[in-house]
Amino acid sequence: MSLYGMMRTGVSGMNAQANRLSTVADNIANSSTNGYKRANTEFSTLVVPSTQGSYNSGGVTTTVRNAISTQGVLQYTTSITDLAINGDGFFIVQNTSGQPYLTRAGSFILDGEGKLVNAAGFQLLGYSYENGVPSATANGYAGLEPITIKQPELVATPSRNGIFAGNLPLDAETVDTTPPPAGAGDATAGDNVSTSKYSAKTSLVAYGNRGEEVLLDVYFTKTADDTWEVTVFDRAEAAPDTSFPYASGPLVEGELTFDPATGKLSGTDGITIPVPGGDSLELDLSGVTQLDAGFEVQDADVDGAPPSSIQGIEISSDGTIYAQYADGSFKPLYRIPLASVASPDQLQVLSGNVFTESATSGAVSIGFANSNGLGGISSGALENSNVDIAEELTSMIESQRNYTANSKVFQTGSDLMELLVNLKR
Amino acid sequence: MSLTSALSIAQSALFNTSRQTSIVSRNVSEAANPDYSRRYAVLSGAAPGARISEIRRAVSDVLFRQNLTAQSDWQGQATLSRGLETLKINVNGIDNASSPATMIGNLQTALQTYAATPSNRTLAENAVEAARQVVRSLNDGAAAVQALRSDIDRDIATSVDELNRLLAAFETVNEEIVAGTRARRDVADAFDRRDALLKQISAFVPVSTITRADNDMVLTTTGGVTLFETVPRPVTFTANHTYVAGMAGNAVYVDGVPLPAGNGGNTTASGSLAANLQLRDQIAVQMQQQLDEIARGLITAFAESDPSNALPDAAGLFTWADGPGLPAAGTLENGLAGSIRLNPAMDTSAGGDPERLRDGGANGAGYIHNADGAASYSDLLNGYLDRLQQPMSFEPATGLGASQSLSSFSSEAIGWLESLRHEAARGSEAKEALATHTATALSNETGVNVDEEMALLLELEHAYEASARLMSVIDEMLATLMEATR
C-alpha cells in the first residue's frame, strides 16, 4: 500500500496503452500492404505481494500477437506471377544472401536473371523438374532453389501415339486383284503402281525426332468382304496430283478384318508406323468401323510437337509452374512448395512481410499446395492485409480513453503525494 | 466480415459491372456483323466478392453445321444454275432463236418453198443461205460450249487458289485458338474468324468438322478427304487454257484424292467446285456431243449419191474437214459441229452454184441426178426433206433418244437443256430457302439481340448504382468513426 506503487501502476497502464496505440499505428500504416498480418496487443496482469490490510497495486504487461493465420482478402490482378495462398501455408523465399524465410506477400515479378522477386526483394524458392518429378523435403529447406525462368533450348517431341477413328463404307467396291482372265487384276495401294486403286484415303501429320512435320498418307483398300488393306506412305515421296506411285514402298502394310455381325474390327486394331526420321508411331485404329455409310473421319490425332520456344508461363493451383511453348504445349519447370508451422501466429515477424521460425512456433514442414491441409495457390491474385480500419479506429479510441484514465490515476497519486508533503511545514 | 472487406467487395462488384458493360457495348457494336457470336460473362464466386471467370461465346454447333451444309448445297446448285443459263443464252440464244433446231426448221421451210418452185434460182439462193445459218449456229454453239468450258476451268483455278489461301488462313486462326485455349486466353474473336473462314470454305467444298482437344479443328470434305489437320492439305489443279471437243479436263485433287463432280439438274454437287466440274465435264461435254451429232446428221442427210451407184456417197450441201467423204454412221465424231461448213460448190459467194442443190453434182459430174437440167426437177430436194424426217441412229452418250429423226433430235436437245435448267432453278430456290432458314436460325441462337442487350444494360446500370451507393455508405460509416477520433 504505497502511493508510489499506485503511481507506478498508472505509468505501467499508460505504457501498455502506448504499446497498443503503436500496434494500431502499425496496422493502419500497413493496411494496404499485401501479405501484412495485423498485430494484436494482449495484456496480462502483474501482481506484487500484498499482506492483509496492505494492498500493493501491481501493473500490466504487454504481449504483441500477430494474426498470421487469419486469411486476408484476395484481390485479383492481371499479372499471372501475382500469387496468393487461399488457405494455410507460406511461400518460401530467400534474401540475397540465401537465408530462407516464409511469406504470404506474393506480388512476384521476373527480374533480370529470370528469378521471381517480390516487392520486398525476396526470391521465390521451388523444386525444379530438371531431374524428374520433385517431391517435397518434409522437414528442411534442402533441394529448394530460386525459381529461374530462362529461355531454354528449343524442344521437339517425336510422335509416338496416334488415333484414327472413322467409318469405312460397307458398300465400297472390292479391288479385284485376281489376275485376268478370272478377275480384273487391279493393283491395290500396297502394290504402289500408278494404277493403284484404293477405297478411301486420309492423311495425318506426325513429327520426327527433330520436330520436322511428316505427312503420312493412309490408304484403306477393300480387298474382300470385311477385309481391308491399310497402307501408309510418306507424302514426301508422292507423285504430283495422284500421289501414286510413291518413290518407295509403303512404310507399313496391315490388314483389318471386320466382324460382319457388328461392323467392328475383329482382328488387329492398330498399326505401327516407322515415321521417316522419327520414332515408331502406334496408330490406334480400334475406332474404325465398317458400316453402311460413307467414308467418314470421326477422330484423327497424333501426338508430338514441332520445335518451339517458351511463350509464357502458367502457374496452376497446385503450384506447378508450366512453360507454355509456341505450339501450345506445356512443360512443368518448377513446383512451388508451401511451408507450414504448428503455431503460425507465434512466428517471428521481420521486415519485408516475412516470418521466421521462433522457439514457440514449431519447426517448419514443407508440402505442396492443396495437400496435407495446405491451401491452394491462386495465380493472378494478391492477399491483402487483414487489417480492418474500423476495428483499428475503435481500438484507438478505446486506448485513448484508457490512457487518459491511467493518467488520472497517476495525477491522483501525485496530488495525494503533494498533500502529504504539505503536512510538514 | 469487416468494413474493409465490405469495401473491397463493393469495389470488385464495380469492376465486374464495368467489365460486363464493356461486353454489352461490344455486342451492340457488332450487332450487324453476321460472323459475330454474342459474348456473355460468366461470374464465379470467389470469397469475398465475385470474379468474372471467363467470357463465353454463344454457340450452336448443330445449327452451325447445318448452315455450312446448306450453304455448300446452295452454292453448288446456284453455280450449276448460272452455268446452264449461260449455256442456254450462248448456244441456243434468247427464246432459242439461234438454236440449231430453229435454224434446221428454217432450212426445211426454205427447201419446201424451193421444192415447190425448183425453177426459181432466188429460192435456191435462199435455201443455201438458210443452210449457212445452220452452219453458223452449229459453229458458234460449238465455240460457245468450249469457251464456257475454258471459262469454267479458269474459274476452278481461281477457286482452288482461293481455297488454298483460305486453308492457310484457317491454319493461322486455328493455331491462335489452340494456343489461346491452352493458355486460357480469351479467343472469342479468333473463333469468330474461324467460323467466318469455314463459311467461306464451305462455298467451295462441303466441309465436315471434328473438334480435337484444345479446340483444335480437323476439316474433311463430306467424302472424308482431309482438308486440314494441323496443316492445310494441298488442293491442286492444273488449268487448261483452251478446250477442244473431246478433250477431258483435269481433276481437282484434294490431298491427292480427286474431287467428285455433281450429278443431275437438282445436283448432288455441294460447293461450287463440284458444280463447276459437273458443268465442265458432263453438261458441256454432252451438249457438245449433241451439236456434233446434229452436224453429223446434217452431213449424212444432205449427202449426194451417184445415180449409177458406182461412186461412194459424198458430202453434199454440208461438208466437213475430212470431206467429201461422210462421217461413219452411228458414231460420234468429236468436234464435227465446229468443223461443219457449207459446201463451196453450192455457195455463190465462194464461186459455187446453188442450183447444184436441186440437180446434184457438187462432187463432180458423176453425182448429177438432173442430167438434162429440167427446171421443174424436185426429186432430190424432196428426198432431202424426207431424210430430215427419217429416223437415224445417234450416240446414246448424248443423253437423247438413240434412234430418231434429225429434226426431233435437234428439238429434243433444246428440251434436254430446258429441263435441266428448270430442275436446277427449282433446286436452287429450295436450297436457297434452306440456307436462309438455317442462317436465320443460327443468327437467332448466336447473334446479338439489341433489345436483350439494352435490358441487360439497364440491369447493369442498377447494379453499378447499388455498388457505388454501398461504397458511399461505407465511406460515411468510416467518416463517422474518424469524427469520433479526436
Region A411-420 average pLDDT = 92
Residue of A nearest to B7 (CA): A388
End-to-end CA distance of chain B: 26
What pLDDT does residue A55 have? 86
Q: Do A203 and B229 touch (CB under 8 A)?
A: yes
Mean pLDDT within A165-170: 91
Judged by CB atoms closer than 8 Å, whether chains meet at A217 and B178 is answered as no
Indicate whether B104 and B203 sit together in one domain.
yes
Q: Looking at CA atoms only, how far is residue A327 from chain B in angstroms?
A: 6
B251 has a chain A CB within 8 A of its CB: yes
Q: What is the pLDDT of residue A38?
A: 92
B266 and B125 co-located in one domain: yes
Angle (nearest 5°) at CA B5 between B3 and B10: 95
Half-sphere exposure of B406 (CA within 13 A, CB side): 27
Rounded distance between C-alpha atoms, residue B94 and residue A389, angstroms: 90
- What residues 303-332 of chain B have any CB closer than 8 A to a CB of chain A? none
Which range scores top for mean pLDDT: A16-30, A125-139, B352-366?
A16-30
Contact state of B224 with A387 under an 8 Å Cβ cutoff: no
Q: Which contiguous run of DSSP H or E holds residue B228?
A: strand B226-229
What band does B291 get if pLDDT is binned at 50, 70 and 90? very high
pLDDT reading at B228 higher than 90: yes
The minimum CA-CA distance between B421 and chain A, rounded to whole Å, is 29
Taking residues A147-157, what's their average pLDDT? 77
The answer to whether residue B198 is domain-embedded is: yes
The C-alpha atoms of residue A392 and residue A40 are separated, in whole angstroms, by 10
B268 shares contact with chain A (CB less than 8 Å): no
The mean pLDDT value for B175-194 works out to 86
Residues 6+ apart with CB under 8 A from B179: A311, A324, A326, A327, A328, B185
What's the confidence (pLDDT) of residue A1?
55
B39 plus B88 within the same structural domain? no
Residue B442 in domain:
no
- What is the model's pLDDT at position A42? 92
CA distance, residue B227 to nearest chain A CA (Å): 9
Is the Cβ pair A73, B4 closer than 8 Å? yes
Predicted local confidence at residue A152, as pLDDT: 64
Cβ under 8 Å to A: B residues 433-462: none
A154: pLDDT strictly greater than 80: no
Do the beta carbons of residue B302 and residue B367 sit within 8 Å? Answer: no
The answer to whether the Cβ–Cβ distance between B484 and A397 falls below 8 Å is yes
The beta-strand segments (E) located in B141-187 are: none
Report the SS3 class of residue B72.
helix
Q: Is B168 on the interface with A (CB under 8 A)?
A: no
Q: What is the mean pLDDT of residues B76-94?
A: 92
Residue B386's domain comprises: 65-434
What is the structure's pLDDT at B49?
Answer: 61
Instruction: Kindly state the DSSP code that residue A51 receives in the 8-state scheme.
Output: B
Whether residues B311 and B367 fall in one domain: yes
Q: Do B167 and B248 reside in the same domain of the chain?
A: yes
Nearest alpha carbon to residue A228 among A203, A184, A198: A198
In a shared domain, residues B256 and B403 = yes
pLDDT band at B55 (very low <50, low <70, confident <90, very high): confident
B290, B400 contact by CB (below 8 A): yes
Same domain, B93 and B199: yes
The confidence score (pLDDT) of residue B162 equals 96
Confidence band of B395 (pLDDT split at 50, 70, 90): confident
Q: Is A316 on the interface with B (CB under 8 A)?
A: no
* Residue B485 forms contact with A (CB below 8 Å): yes
Q: What confidence tier does B48 reach under pLDDT thresholds 50, 70, 90? A: low
Statement: residue B3 has pLDDT above 90: no
Q: Which of B179, B224, B482 sits opposite A393 (nearest CB)?
A: B482
pLDDT at A335: 92
What confidence score (pLDDT) does residue B47 get? 59
Q: Is the pLDDT of residue A328 over 80?
A: no
Tell whether B271 is covered by a domain. Answer: yes
**What gap in Å lies between CA A106 and CA A109, rounded to an integer?**
9
**Contact at 8 Å (CB) between A6 and A54?**
no
Examine residue B321 and state whether it is found in any structural domain, yes or no.
Answer: yes
Nearest to A213 among B183, B231, B255 (CB): B231
Angle CA(A106)–CA(A108)–CA(A113) in degrees, nearest 5?
Answer: 150
pLDDT digits (tens, 9 = 90+) for B316-335: 889 998 878 888 888 888 89
Residue A294: closest C-alpha in chain B: B223
- Residue B3 sits at the chain A interface (C-beta within 8 Å): yes
Query: Could you tell me where the DSSP H helices lie in B183-248?
Result: 188-204
Q: Looking at this protein, which amino acid is placed at residue B164?
A: N
- Residue B26: other Cβ atoms inside 10 A: 17
Q: Which residues of A touch B173 (CB under 8 A)?
A: none
> How far does chain A reach from its first CA to its final CA, in angstroms?
25
Domain ranges of chain A: 3-67+386-423, 74-154+309-383, 156-306
| Cα(B204)–Cα(B79) distance, integer angstroms | 10
Q: The C-alpha cell of B402 is what?
A: 438413240
pLDDT on residue A327: 66
Instruction: Average the pLDDT over B129-149 and give the result.
Output: 93
pLDDT bracket for residue B430 (50, 70, 90): very high
d(CA A20, CA B212): 62
Asked if residue B480 and residue B390 are part of one domain, the reply reads: no
Question: How many Cβ atoms are within 10 Å of B398's Cβ, its own excluded?
Answer: 23
pLDDT at position B82, please? 93
B48 shares its domain with B84: no
Q: Is B227 on the interface with A (CB under 8 A)?
A: no
Instruction: Give the separation between CA B330 and CA B252, rounded to whole angstroms.
Output: 33
- The model's confidence at residue A278, banded by pLDDT at 50, 70 and 90, is confident
Reply yes or no on whether the pLDDT at B190 is more than 70: yes
Count Cβ–Cβ pairs < 8 Å, chain A vs chain B: 120
Alpha carbon distance A271, A370 (integer Å): 41
B192 in the Ramachandran plot: left (φ > 0), alpha (ψ -120 to 50) or beta?
A: alpha
Q: Which of A80, A86, A199, A201 to mutate to test the interface with B (most CBs of B within 10 A)?
A: A201
Interchain contact A411–B (C-beta under 8 A) = no
C-beta neighbour count of A2 within 10 angstroms: 12
pLDDT for residue B85: 92
A positions 324-383 inside 8 Å of B (CB)? 324, 326-330
* Residue of chain A with shortest Cα separation from B15: A76
CATH, range A156-306: 2.60.98.20
What per-residue confidence (pLDDT) applies to A138?
76
State the average pLDDT for chain A. Answer: 88
Q: How many residues does chain B have?
A: 486
pLDDT at B1 over 60: no
Q: Give A204's contacts in chain B (Cβ within 8 Å).
A: 226, 229
Look at residue A137 and tell me whether its pLDDT is greater than 60.
yes
Q: What is the mean pLDDT of residues A147-172?
A: 85
What mean pLDDT is predicted for residues B217-239? 91
Within an 8 Å CB–CB cutoff, is residue A290 touching chain B? no
What's the pLDDT band for B5 if we cut at 50, 70, 90?
confident
Predicted pLDDT at A75: 81
B132: left (phi over 0), alpha (psi -120 to 50) or beta: alpha
Q: Are residues B105 and B178 in the same domain?
A: yes
Sign of CA dihedral B29, B33, B35, B40: positive
- Between CA A250 and CA B161 the distance in angstroms is 30
For A137-161, the DSSP string reads -TTS-TT-EE-B------EEE---E
Report d(CA A238, CA A232) in Å as an integer: 12
Q: Residue B272 domain-assigned?
A: yes
Residue A274: enclosing H or E segment and its boundaries?
strand A270-274
φ/ψ region of B185 (left if φ > 0, alpha if ψ in -120 to 50, else beta) reads beta
CB-side neighbour CA atoms (13 Å) of A152? 13
Interface of B with A in 48-77 (CB under 8 A): 48, 51
> Are A300 and B51 an interchain contact pair (Cβ–Cβ within 8 Å)?
no
Please check whether residue B195 is in contact with residue B211, taking contact to mean a CB–CB distance below 8 angstroms: no
DSSP line for A342-391 = S-GGGSEEETTTEEE--TTT---EEEETTSTT--EEEETEEEPP---HHH
Q: Could you tell me if residue B364 is inside a domain?
A: yes
Are B253 and A203 in contact (CB < 8 Å)? no
If contacts are CB pairs under 8 Å, which of residues 95-154 in chain A contact chain B? Answer: none
Of B218, B257, B478, the CB nearest to A390: B478
Contacts of B4 in chain A (CB under 8 A): 31, 73, 387-390
% of chain A with per-residue pLDDT over 70: 98
Are residues B255 and A203, on separate chains, in Cβ contact within 8 Å? Answer: yes
A306: confidence class by pLDDT, cuts 50, 70, 90: confident
The SS3 call for residue B362 is coil
Query: CA–CA distance from B443 to each of A336, A410, B63, B104, B436 (Å)?
Result: 47, 83, 9, 54, 10
What pLDDT sits at residue B337?
92
Which helix (H) or strand (E) segment holds residue B87: the answer is: helix B61-87
Q: How confident is the model at residue A249 (pLDDT cuts 50, 70, 90)?
A: confident
CB within 8 Å: B257 and A201: yes
- Is the C-alpha dihedral spanning A415, A416, A417, A421 positive or negative? positive
Instruction: Kindly report, residue by residue over A351-382, the tens digit of the pLDDT.
Output: 999 999 999 988 899 999 988 889 999 888 88
What DSSP state is assigned to residue B331? S
Preceding omega of B324 cis (within 30 degrees of 0): yes
Residue A242 is placed in which grid cell? 495422284
Highest mean pLDDT among B129-138, B236-245, B345-354 belongs to B129-138
Coil, strand, or helix at residue B220?
strand
Alpha carbon distances (Å) from A363 to A126, A346, A358, A386: 19, 11, 8, 24
Minimum Cα–Cα distance from A198: chain B residue: B257
The 3-state DSSP composition of chain B as helix, strand, coil percent (nearest 5) reads: 60, 10, 30
In a domain, B439, yes or no: no
Residue B230, min C-alpha distance to chain A (Å): 7
B-chain residue closest to A323, CA distance: B183
**pTM for this model (two decimals):** 0.79
> Judging by beta carbons within 10 Å of its beta carbon (0-12, 13-18, 19+), is residue B471 exposed, middle or buried?
middle
d(CA B11, CA A37): 22
- Under the banding of pLDDT at 50, 70 and 90, the label for residue A425 is confident
Out of A300, A330, A390, the one facing B2 most closely (by C-beta) is: A390
Cβ contact (<8 Å) for A396 and B256?
Answer: no
> Within 10 A of A373 (CB to CB), how many other CB atoms are there?
10
Pair (B201, B255) in one structural domain: yes
- Please tell me whether residues B341 and B472 are part of one structural domain: no
The answer to whether B60 and B38 are in contact (CB under 8 A) is no
Q: What is the per-residue DSSP string for B240-285?
A: -S---TTPPPPPPEETTEEPPP--TTTT---SHHHHHHHIIIIIHH
Domain count of the fold of chain B: 2
- The better pLDDT of the pair B307, B202 is held by B202
Which of A134-143, A209-218, B36-45 is least confident? A134-143
Q: Is B215 on the interface with A (CB under 8 A)?
A: no
Cβ of A240 within 8 Å of Cβ of B236? The answer is: yes
Comparing B39 with A308, which gets the higher pLDDT? B39
d(CA A43, CA A13): 10
Using pLDDT thresholds of 50, 70 and 90, give the confidence band for residue A181.
Answer: confident
Q: Answer yes or no: do B485 and A74 touch at CB < 8 A.
A: no
Nearest to A300 among B47, B218, B225 (CB): B218
Percent of chain B at pLDDT > 70 equals: 98
Q: Per the CB < 8 Å rule, is B178 touching A328? A: yes
* Burial class for B227, CB neighbours closer than 10 Å (0-12, 13-18, 19+): buried
Residue A180: pLDDT band by 50, 70, 90 thresholds?
Answer: confident
- Cβ distance A294 to B222 less than 8 Å, yes or no, reads yes
Q: What does R_g of chain A's alpha carbons equal in angstroms? A: 38
